Amino acid sequence: MREFLEDVESGDPGDPVARARAAQRAPLPKRFYKDVSVGEGEGGYTILLDGRPVRTPARGLLKAPTRALAEAMAAEWAAQQTEIDPFTMPLTRLVNVALDRVAPEAQAVADEVVNYAGTDMLFYRADGPQKLLDRQAKHWDTVLDWMKATHGARFYLAEGITHVAQPEESLAKVRARVPADALRLAAVHSMTTLTGSALLALAVAEGALSADAAWTAAHVDEDFNREQWGEDELATARRAARRTEMDAAAQVLALVG
């Protein structure tokens, strides 16, 4: 079970091809437990399978700081049928990543979020057509206005893909907003990589934007192109898988309080 989870988490959960390859490395483990419950102990809440605590791939306890998050993960374990499929357990996967990978390297993970902010998607506008420009402004400017009004962070915009350096003081204000605790940091990092925007992720984390609105904002260009050229089946499947991860990150933020 542990080795299977390690294989799965090494791939891109939003890429159906990567998921298929990861799943082929080892057969899905059989469900071996009957009862799923939540236990309370020092340092938080654990998931119990027939009374025994679940452990992460790194062999630490799978635990949550709130009962609400633990119960949501427990529901994922209870929903498994004859086999255990980690791809249907996005909350458990994200918490595993937070405990095993993010917590030991929190500074590096936070640095990566800030690096995204330095070249945030919201700064780079198309050179046309006007319909696309209007959509970008509608969905992106509200986030930039929020950063300016709430946190005093101002950013420069550019046309096309020509790099524009952002004010160091603004990036410092972004850094100050990046969560320090591993679970919230993992959720923000996940949202950042899924959307291509640290500012969208932070807006969701601080309640300034819903996950739905952030997802729509992140796909303004893609949706415009789909309207012009039609949908690609693989791209649609990839997007659906990534949306599942986005929703899990938003749920973690909501359930950790």
Find tokens 């939003």 and name the residue: 14
Contact status, residue 194 vs residue 14, Cβ threshold 8 Å: yes
Distance of CA 200 to the CA centre of its chain: 11
| pLDDT of residue 25 exceeding 90 | no
Find tokens 């996967």 and name the residue: 93
pLDDT at 37 (0 to 100):
98
Contact status, residue 157 vs residue 145, Cβ threshold 8 Å: no
**What is the secondary structure of 76-136 as a DSSP string?**
HHHT--SB--GGG-HHHHHHHHIIIIIGGGHHHHHHHHHHHHHT-GGGEE-S--HHHHHHH
What is the pLDDT confidence band of residue 15, given thresholds at 50, 70 and 90? Answer: low
The pLDDT of 66-78, averaged and rounded, is 98
Distance of CA 219 to the CA centre of its chain: 15
38: which strand partners? 47
CA distance linking residue 190 with residue 237, whole number of Å: 18
> Does the reported pTM lie above 0.95?
no
CA distance linking residue 15 with residue 22, whole number of Å: 11
CA distance linking residue 53 with residue 89, whole number of Å: 17
Mean pLDDT of all residues in the chain?
Answer: 91
CA distance linking residue 5 with residue 57, whole number of Å: 6
| pLDDT of residue 7 exceeding 50 | no
pLDDT at 238 (0 to 100):
92
pLDDT at 100 (0 to 100):
97
CA distance linking residue 133 with residue 125, whole number of Å: 7
Q: Is 48 helix (H, G, I), strand (E, B) or coil?
A: strand
Domains of the chain plus CATH, in order, are 2-98 (3.30.2180.10), 104-256 (1.10.3580.10)
pLDDT at 145 (0 to 100):
98
What is the pLDDT confidence band of residue 251, given thresholds at 50, 70 and 90? Answer: very high
pLDDT at 21 (0 to 100):
52
pLDDT at 19 (0 to 100):
53
